Structure 1
Amino acid sequence: MDIKEARKQIDGIDAQLVELFEQRLSIIKFIGKFKDEHHLPLIDEDRDQEIISSLKTNSEDPRMLTYIESYMKDVISISNEFLKEHMHKHIFLIGMPGAGKTTVGKVLAKELGRDFYDLDQTIQDKVGKSVQNIFIYDGKDAFSEYEYETIKELIYNKPSVIATGGGTVTSEKIVNLMRNNGLVVFVNRDVNHILDDLDLEIRPLVKESIEYIFNVYEERYPLYEQVAHIKIGNEGSITDAVQEIIEALPNTEK
């Protein structure tokens, strides 16, 4: 076989791959519709790993395993992105405490005809302890696990609006869970405005508290931007903030 013949065979194989991938995406579209109707999570990571593992065993040349795994990961990643475009998704609101996530979330949910969940409140109801007591008696890691398990339960509901805690984005596995099963919206508010509102509730704010809030804001701001699919400002009216989110949503979510 010369190089022309080799290239001809590759062209034929590529044509078959395209045809088969189109068939795969058509089936993915059906799966998306089924998941929508039955309120199933968008991405099933265990199923994805099973696909990769099972296909690796079909390889006749062990030297090809790494390449087969890499190829299948790309196929699954593209398929999952296609799936996201054909399903309604949960909307997760992230941002600093005091940014207005709960207030915005309630109005947004009403406008979209969806249920609303405040993650902290849902955890408190589930565990029977306040967030503060969970941190004091169970610890930060335990609270993070409560967040993860609660979101895992919520994503089995019909698409909803979920306002998360200020530190939810510090957990990589929670971030992956949110991004794989919904749209993440960063509700941003100037830290000085947050402090103004806090000052009305907790007088007087000590210097250490002010410095702590500024430090948290500076630390988390890049993380909020990195995690979010959409970023909106909440400096004006709640109506304006909600409208900005709706305008930024994909058409499938409106």
Structure 2
Amino acid sequence: MKNNITLIGMPGSGKSTVGVVLAKRLGRRFVDSDLVIQDRHGKLLHELITEYGVEGFWQIESDVNASLDLENSIIATGGSACYEPEGMQHLREISTVVYLKLPYEEVEKRLGDLNARGVTLQPGQTLRDLYDERTPLYKKYADLIIDCSGKMLRDVVAEIAEKYKKRS
């Protein structure tokens, strides 16, 4: 049953913020997969990335996403969830996947210290490289794409709620 909504997109695209407000609006539970990862492993995201490396972290993230057994929930994923097909396939099976799309310039403006945020950058990789690499993956897995550029939070939430209702 696809009565969950999963939010995907770049770090800083508003997945957690939109997720909390959307959950309140629709009367659903909010789950942040990054917090589930931290809770299960007892470490912060950047500590896990340091300990296991970028690919190791992606596997942890995928395992957590693939294990989510939820109903009536709004799920905010980490920005790197798109790299592991197993986790993404499970999320597609249990939810409508919504890509919160932002232009690169807005992502860059919103993000502070990438390491403190737990952003998985390969050595020598820039934020632009990351954006260009992930954008096609987000599009590939998305059931709905919401252009968030220049929009107020309430407008993004209203658009998701409306489009989700039409699909249900």
Cα displacement (A) at 1:97: 0.3
CA distance in 2: counterparts of 1:251 and 1:183, whole angstroms: 12
Instruction: Work out whether residues 88 and 252 of structure 1, in 8 Å CA contact, stay in contact via their aligned partners in 2.
Output: no
Question: Cα distance 1:116–1:199, how it changes in 2: closer, same or farther (>3 A)?
Answer: closer
TM-superposed CA distance for 1:88, in Å, is: 4.5
Inter-partner Cα distance in structure 1 for 2:68 and 2:43: 19
Asked which structure has the greater RCO (Cα within 8 Å, sep 6+), the reply is 2
Tell whether the 8 Å contact from 1:96 to 1:217 is kept in structure 2 after alignment: yes
2:119 corresponds in structure 1 to none
Task: Name the amino acid aligned to 2:157.
Answer: V
* CA distance, structure 2, for counterparts of residue 200 and residue 130 of structure 1: 15
Q: CA deviation at 1:126?
A: 1.7
The farther-off stretch of 133-142 and 96-105 is: 133-142
The alpha carbon displacement at 1:251 in A equals 4.8
Percent identical pairs in the alignment equals: 35
Q: Read off the aligned partner of 2:162 and give its amino acid letter.
A: E
Provide the rounded CA distance (Å) in 1 between the counterparts of 2:114 and 2:49: 22
Give 1:118 deviation, angstroms.
1.1
> Structure 2 matches for 1:200-239, cutoff 5 A?
212-235=126-149, 236-239=151-154
Shift of residue 112, structure 1, vs aligned partner: 0.7
Q: Secondary structure at the match of 1:143?
A: helix
Higher helix share: 1
Matched, 1:149 2:47: no
1:139 counterpart SS class: helix
- Please give the alpha-carbon distance, in whole angstroms, between the structure 2 residues aligned to 1:248 and 1:123: 29
Show the counterpart of 2:10: 96
Q: CA deviation at 1:104?
A: 0.6
CA RMSD of aligned residues (A): 2.4
CA distance in structure 1 between the partners assigned to 2:60 and 2:95 by the alignment: 19
Distance in 2 between the 1:218 and 1:185 partners?
A: 18
TM-score normalized by the length of structure 2: 0.84
Q: Of the candidates 90, 107, 124, which is equivalent to residue 194 of structure 1?
A: 107
Matches within 5 A, 1:3-152: 87-152=1-66
Relative to the length of structure 1, the TM-score reads 0.57
How much has 1:201 moved relative to structure 2? 9.6
Q: Which amino acid aligns with 1:112?
A: L
How many residue pairs get matched?
159
Counterparts in 2 of 1:234 and 1:252: CA distance versus 1, 3 Å: closer
1:193, distance to aligned residue in structure 2 (A): 1.3
Equivalent residue for 2:159? 244
Which consecutive residues of structure 2, in runs of 5 or more, have no partner in the other structure? Answer: 116-124
Q: Would you say the 8 A contact 2:66–2:86 is kept in 1?
A: no
Structure of larger gyration radius: 1
Deviations 1:111-147 (A, max 9, x none): 1101111111121122110111101112334323332
Contact 2:6 2:95 survives alignment (8 Å): yes
Q: Specify the code of the residue in structure 1 equivalent to 2:14.
A: G
Deviation sequence 1:20-48 (CA, Å, 0-9, x none): xxxxxxxxxxxxxxxxxxxxxxxxxxxxx
Alpha-carbon distance between aligned partners in 1 of 2:132 and 2:59, rounded to the nearest angstrom: 25
Q: What one-letter code is carried by the residue in structure 2 that aligns with 1:226?
A: K
Quick one: distance in 1 between partners of 2:57 and 2:143? 25
Whether the 8 Å CA contact 1:104–1:238 is kept in 2: the answer is yes
